[in-house]
Amino acid sequence: MMRRNSASGFTLMELMITVAIVGILASIAYPSYTNSILRSHRTDARVELLKTAQLFEKCFTQYAAYNNFTSCAAATPYQAGATQTIPNGRYQISAAFATATSYTITATAKAGQASDTTCATLTLTETNIRSPVACW
């Protein structure tokens, strides 16, 4: 009587089916993951805009002007169009003072965040006008 060796393990076909399933799942999950990452970095930018606005409001309370560059430490970094990069490095903050009683703070996406085309630029004014609205 002859013995038959039975092979154990996976066939090439089973392995290819598994690889295809993993590929399909990854193609579905990866865009969702990258979108979540972009949204979390967008939240960091909104936080920085609101913190900067709060500091400007303190200046206005003390000096009756948002753009008092000599006395207001919050406004000084934005003098002459200078910008600040937020801690995660994904947005650059700038502030424009049209008058002593108005400002517009802008967060502009940079680095990997630039692929967030819908919300590449976030703005906030002294009257709390936020744009684009869908990004806030």
pTM value is: 0.78
**Is 93 domain-assigned?**
yes
117: pLDDT confidence band, cut at 50, 70 and 90? Answer: confident
Please determine, for residue 26, whether its predicted confidence score (pLDDT) is greater than 80. Answer: yes
| Beta strand spans in the chain (E) | 83-85, 91-99, 102-109, 121-125, 130-131
What residues make up the domain containing 79?
A: 14-135
**Is 122 domain-assigned?**
yes
**Is 1 domain-assigned?**
no
Please determine, for residue 4, whether its predicted confidence score (pLDDT) is greater than 70. Answer: no
> How many whole angstroms separate alpha carbon 117 and alpha carbon 49?
19
pLDDT given for residue 9 in this prediction: 80
**Is 5 domain-assigned?**
no
pLDDT given for residue 7 in this prediction: 66
Coil, strand or helix: which one is 92? strand
How far are the Cα atoms of 22, 74, 118, 119 from residue 131, in angstroms, in the given order?
39, 22, 11, 9
**Is 3 domain-assigned?**
no
Q: Is the peptide bond before 87 cis (omega within 30 degrees of 0)?
A: no
Please determine, for residue 135, whether its predicted confidence score (pLDDT) is greater than 80. Answer: yes
**Is 4 domain-assigned?**
no
> How many whole angstroms separate alpha carbon 40 and alpha carbon 35?
9
**What are 75-109's pLDDT values in tens digits?**
999 998 899 999 989 999 999 999 999 999 999 99
Please determine, for residue 44, whether its predicted confidence score (pLDDT) is greater than 90. Answer: yes
**Is 101 domain-assigned?**
yes
Give the percent of the chain with pLDDT over 90. Answer: 80
pLDDT given for residue 8 in this prediction: 75
Please determine, for residue 113, whether its predicted confidence score (pLDDT) is greater than 80. Answer: yes
Domain count, the chain: 1
**Is 62 domain-assigned?**
yes
Cβ-contact 79, 95 below 8 angstroms: no
Coil, strand or helix: which one is 107? strand
Please determine, for residue 2, whether its predicted confidence score (pLDDT) is greater than 70. Answer: no
